[in-house]
Each structure stands twice: as structure tokens, then as C-alpha cells.
Amino acid sequence: MDVIALKNIKKTYATGEAAVAALQGVSLAITQGEFVAIMGPSGSGKSTLLHLLGLLDRPDSGEYILCGKNITHLKDNQLALLRNHLMGFVFQQFHLLPRITSLENAELPLIYAGKRHLKEKAMERITEVGLAKRALHRPNELSGGEQQRVAIARALVNDPLIIFADEPTGNLDTKSQNEIMELITELNKKGKTVIMVTHEEEVAEYAHRIIRMRDGKIISDDKKAGRTKKDAAGDESISMNAILSETQTGAKRAELLDHFRQAFFAIVSHKMRSILSMLGILIGVAAVIAMLALGTGAQASIQKQLSSLGSNLLTIRPGSHRLHGVSLGVGTVTRFTFQDVDAIAKLPGVKLITPSVTDSAQLVYGNKNWNTQVQGTGTNYPAMRDSVPVAGRFFREDEVRSRARVAVIGNTVLKNLFGEANPLNQFIRIKRISFKVIGVLPQKGSAGWRDQDDVVVIPITTAMYRLSGKQYIDSIDVEVADIALMDEVQDNISGLLIKRHRIPANKTEDAFEIRNMTDIKKTLEATTRTMSLLLGAIAAISLLVGGIGIMNIMLVSVTERTREIGLRKAIGARDSDIMGQFLIEAVTMTFAGGVAGVAFGALIAFLISVVAGWTVIISLFSVLLATMFSICVGLIFGLWPARQAARLNPIEALRYE
């Protein structure tokens, strides 16, 4: 049976203006078990013919019948299957992948066949070509002859029907040449069909049939007498349909793992390049993590401070005394009295109320001085401000009535005046007036730039009448019973004050202001949310830049590895295999960069919290987001280079310099 039959094959290369007719109607039949040498002067079309025979290229016209099946119009992927299962290639330049061992080189075709026990099978072949001892060496540690043996082992590993050899000894010395040719002859004796291109007569001597070409045509076809081929046709009948259908379905599962292995090799073998390209993603992801941690932390600490202010709170203050530096005169500013407080307290929906005056004053205890804020207030203060003393007690109603000289101090005051000593029942001087310390307020931390613990709280009456001589109340805090009533209560208070102070309709805006804590909270929350978004956006941009970096590297790597891609295709990788490998490579890099970035970002966030004392919170959400994002970056930016790689024509890729 003819293993190969070509009918009137033509191939023309169009380069620039001139079209080169490399093959001008070649017809040829090759029988199972033959050893054919194709000879002819340079440019006669030998290589073109071999590449067409080896399904590495397609003819312009004519028919190709392989094992009785017309395969002229099969798809690229089907041709890849046939190359993988029926053909083995040995090239003049060996085309071994430089960064993996001989054994790994030899097992490559098995990967694309989706077979298992790769190492064992590849080792058998390596032993067969006499290189068992060198199996774990890389190609650059081997001589030319040894490299070609590895290439032969690779060609044999899938147990092909036909071996194609393109000037297999072109780069070798005479000794190696003879060894390689004996190896090939041996294979032929075992039943493999061998088709070889050579321009050396002594090499061609090994063949049983010599086809000579000139100007794209066969000019002679000599079969040597006396060398009868074996009757191999019978027992080696090939079911083409079985091959074409079998590998469509089977053996896919194993391949993904192998792609990962290939991608891993590629990444590890270009360590520096891989690390540099991961760096972009790493920085991007670290930025996302750190910035989101800062944003979330800021949000949480603002939340905490807001809740320490008490909720459902309204603060009423007189209107501003000055507008653009000009006094608005008497009558525009409302002066609050205790009668106002009593009146507001009677409004429905008002739960608690406390008036207050603030002043700053010099505190003295023993030989220590401290300047702080003195707040005069009522007995509802602890409940409304979530400030029940942690030591001692707050002042009572009778103490307010009697203008008692008692003080409750904040933590900062405590530290500065008393240090570690017990302040309770000690006497401090505020503006030279002696006060007894009766309690210590709980710690609140700082709200922005203001230290909330730098305060001393005294009865409002004492503050007004003994300390500052103020006649009026500075502000009134109101706690509303239910958050739903906030607006209603605010309106009622407003109406009440307008009535009580007879504020003319055109002055109501300036006369007093009522601040709504809930509104302030909402505004602050919205602000921090915007801030987080902004930070996130900046981080996303850096991820994008990182992604473009990856794309760049992948594109460079496609170009750099064009010959590798060509080789992989020649030994049976389908477009999807190449694409898969490159995509997995990109995604693996971005994913690894992402994971490292998460760790690095967490470290930065941690350092910020330690050094600057800011609250940072690393949410699971941000970690997942960043990781997902880095995978997507790999997919998106790896896609184009992967497609470019997959599209390459095997023979052009192989010849790429």
C-alpha cells in the first residue's frame, strides 16, 4: 500500500514582486517501509516538498493522499493530529528547546497526544538512541551528534509511521554523521518509512530510493536494485478516521496539567523577565490592597468616632456673629437661656437635653500647668455623649443648682496633671478657682486634629457664673427619641425658637443653626466612600499599567519563541494548545504577581498602621477583588499575544531567525 501519494502538487511563493514557483506539478508515490532521499541543487524545491509531505505547509493545488485518505482539505487542527500521530521530524538545526532536559525534549510530542507515563516512554527512546546517561542534560551540554539523537528520540516517541529528516547531518562532523545515518537506517529496518532531504551523495547512499529534483520538478526517481522492502503494508494498516476522531474526544483531561507544566517551565526558565513582568502586577495589587485597607480603615474609624458622639443628636447654636468679618449687630444673634432649654425639653420627641458653654482655661495642680478646654454642661451629658465616668462619678443635679466647684477630667488632662497618681478628690485650680476632681471620663481618642480627651467638664452654672461670667448658653444638645423624628423635632425647635425670640422672617437663616448629627454622619460616610473609590481607581490604573507590561513581555516572548512555537506545532500542538500554553503562562504570572501583591500590600498596610497609627482594615473582599482582577488582567492581556502565537504557520515559525 502507498503510505503517501501526491498528485500534481504545486506551490508558489509570492515574495514582493516576484513569484517563485517552488514546486511545479509534483506527483509521487511512497510505499510503506521505504527509505527515500530527496536530492537536488539548492533552490530546487527539496525542502518545500518535504514540508508539504510532512504537513507543515499546504500546497496551492494538487492532492495529498495519506494512507488511502485524501487529506488535502483537512483543517489545521486535524493536520496537527496527523503530524502528532503518524509523523516524526528531524531537522538540520535539531530544534531542541534549550532550557529543558533531553528527556523533557523527547517527551514533548506525547504531551500533545495527551498520553500518560511520558517520562517512561521518553526514557525508552532516549535509551534506544544510546543517550541514557545524558537524559538529564540540557541540549547546550551535548554535542551536535548527541543533540540530533535527542531529536530522533523525540521523533520516535509517538511511534510514528513516517520519519521526515531535513538535512539531518548537515551540521555534523563525519563521525556523528555516520552514527546518525546508521541510527536512521536501523529505524528503517524496523519498518519506519523514512523520507530525507540531503545534498550529499554519501548520505543519500544509505537510502534505497533517490529522487532528484530541479526547478521544482522531479527529474529522476531511482530505486536501488537488490533491496526489497519488507511486506509491512499488511500488518501496519492505519485507520485514519480512528486517529482523526480518537484524539478529538479522548485524552483532553490530562493536557491542562501539561500546559501548566509547560507554562511553569517557561516562567522559571526566564526568571528575571518573569519577575520583572510580575512586578507590575505586584505593585498594582499591593496598591489596591493597601489603599482599600486605608480607605476601609478610615471609614471604620470615622464611624467609631461618630458613634462616640452619640446618635440622634441635634446641636443648636446661635447664628454666626460675623459675616465676612462684618458684625451683623445686636438682634441678629440669638442668645439662649435656661428658659429656652426648659421650653425645648417639653417638645414631643425630645428625649434628653443638655446646655453647654465652652471656654479654654489654665489648669494647675501642684507645680503642673495644663491649658485645656473647659466645658460647662448639665447632668445629661454622660448619657448623651456616651461618657459615663470610668472612675469616680459625674456631678449631680444639686451640684448644678448650687454651682458646685467639682470637675470631671478627660484622659489627656489626667495624664498631664496627675501622671500615674489617683486624681479623685484632689483639688485642681481652674482660672485660680479651686475645683475638686470627682471623676475621670472614658477615653475617646482623637477626632481628626482635635483630641477629645483634652477636656475638663464642670457644672454649667459654675462655668457661667463663677468662671467666665457668661450670661448665655453657647450651645444646646438635644437627643431625639427616634431617628425617624429627627426632621420633625428639628422643625419644631426651629419654630419654637423663632417664636420665643421673635425673630423676623427674613433673619431666621442667620439667627441660629441646628446641626443634625445624622446628616453630618451621612455626609462623612459619603465622603469616605468617595475617597475609597478614588483610591481604588488609582490602584486600578496601576493594575492596568501592570497588565500592559505583561502584554508587552508576552508579545516579546512570542517573537523570541517563534521557533519554539513552530517546533511545538510541527510535533503536533494544535492552535488551542499553543494558545492555552501562552494564556496559562500569562495568567500564572499575573496570579503569582497578584498573590505576592496581596502579601506586599498587607505588609504596607501593616507598616502604615504601626508607623502612622492609622486604622487599616484588609477586607476579604479587597483580597478577592485584587486576585480576581489580576487573573483577569492575565487573561485579557495574554489573549492577544497568545492568539498571535497560535496563528503562526509552523514552517515559517520554524524558519524564523
Residue ranges binding ligand ADP (CB under 6 A): 13, 15, 20, 22, 40, 42-48
3 state SS for 374-407: EEEECCCHHHHCCCCCCEECCCCHHHHHCCCCEE
List the grid coordinates of 362: 489654665
Distance between CA atoms of 252 and 206, rounded to whole angstroms? 40
Closest CB to ligand ADP among residues 18, 326:
18
Task: Record the cell numbers describing residue 166, joined without a space.
Answer: 531535513
Asked whether 46 and 38 are in contact (CB, 8 A), the reply is: yes
Kindly tell me which of 19 and 610 has the beta carbon lying closer to ligand ADP.
Answer: 19
Residue 167 or 340 with smaller CB distance to ligand ADP: 167
Q: Whole-number minimum distance, CB 266 to ligand ADP, in Å?
A: 27
Tell me the DSSP string of 7-76.
EEEEEEEEETTEEEEEEEEEEEEEETT-EEEEE-STTSSHHHHHHHHTTSS--SEEEEEETTEE-TT--H
Rounded Cα distance, 288 and 496, in Å? 51
Which grid coordinates belong to 642? 497568545
Q: For residues 551 and 633, what is the distance between their CA atoms, to the nearest angstrom?
A: 9
- C-alpha 390/C-alpha 387 separation (Å) is 8
How far apart CA 298 and CA 303 sit, in angstroms, is 8
Q: In angstroms, what is the minimal distance from the CB of 151 to ligand ADP?
A: 19
Identity of the residue, 13 or 427, whose beta carbon is nearer to ligand ADP in the bound complex:
13
State the cell numbers at 517: 448629627
Identity of the residue numbered 557: S
Q: Which CB, 37 or 586, lies closer to ligand ADP?
A: 37
Would you call 481 exposed, middle or buried from its count of C-beta atoms within 10 A (0-12, 13-18, 19+)?
middle
At 50, the amino acid letter reads L
Closest to ligand ADP by CB, 85 vs 569, is 569
DSSP secondary structure code for residue 463 in this structure: I
Cβ at position 241, least distance to ligand ADP in Å: 32
Residue (43 or 114) nearer to ligand ADP, CB? 43
Residue 481 CA to residue 469 CA, distance in Å, equals: 33
Nearer Cβ to ligand ADP (48/387) = 48
Looking at the Cβ atoms of 194 and 489, the one nearer to ligand ADP is: 194
Nearest to 554 by CA among 508, 527, 531, 588: 588
Q: Are 38 and 32 in contact (CB under 8 A)?
A: no
Write phi, then psi, for 5 (nearest 5 degrees): -135, 125
Q: How far is the CB of 197 from ligand ADP (least distance, A)?
A: 7
SS3 state of residue 75: coil
Any residues with CB less than 8 A from the CB of 599 and at least 6 apart, and which?
A: none
Q: Which is nearer to ligand ADP, 166 or 454 (CB)?
A: 166
The set of cell numbers assigned to 378 is 448639665
**What's the CA gap between 229 and 317, in Å, rounded?**
112
In the β-sheet with 162-166, what is the strand arrangement from edge to edge?
87-91, 162-166, 193-197, 35-39, 209-214, 217-223
End-to-end CA distance of the chain: 39
Helix (H), strand (E) at residue 363: strand 350-365
CA 288 – CA 601 distance, rounded (Å)? 7
Q: State in angstroms the smallest separation of the CB of 198 from ligand ADP.
A: 10
| Rounded least distance, CB 657 to ligand ADP, Å | 12
Nearer to ligand ADP, 24 or 446 (CB): 24
Sign of CA dihedral 588, 589, 590, 591: positive
Least spacing, CB of residue 171 vs ligand ADP, in Å: 15
Which CB, 104 or 166, lies closer to ligand ADP? 166
The answer to whether 161 and 169 are in contact (CB under 8 A) is: no
Taking the C-alpha atoms of 558, 561, 565 and 566 in order, what is their torsion angle to the nearest 10 degrees?
Answer: 120
| H helical segments located in 114-238 | 118-128, 144-156, 174-189, 201-204
Judged by beta carbon, residue 48 or residue 312, the one nearer ligand ADP is 48
Q: How far apart are CA 494 and CA 515, in angstroms?
A: 11
Least spacing, CB of residue 653 vs ligand ADP, in Å: 11
- For residue 447, the SS3 value is strand
Name which of 46 and 125 has its Cβ closer to ligand ADP. Answer: 46
Name the minimum Å distance from CB 64 to ligand ADP: 17
Q: Which is nearer to ligand ADP, 6 or 81 (CB)?
A: 6
CA angle 287, 289, 295 (to 5 degrees): 95
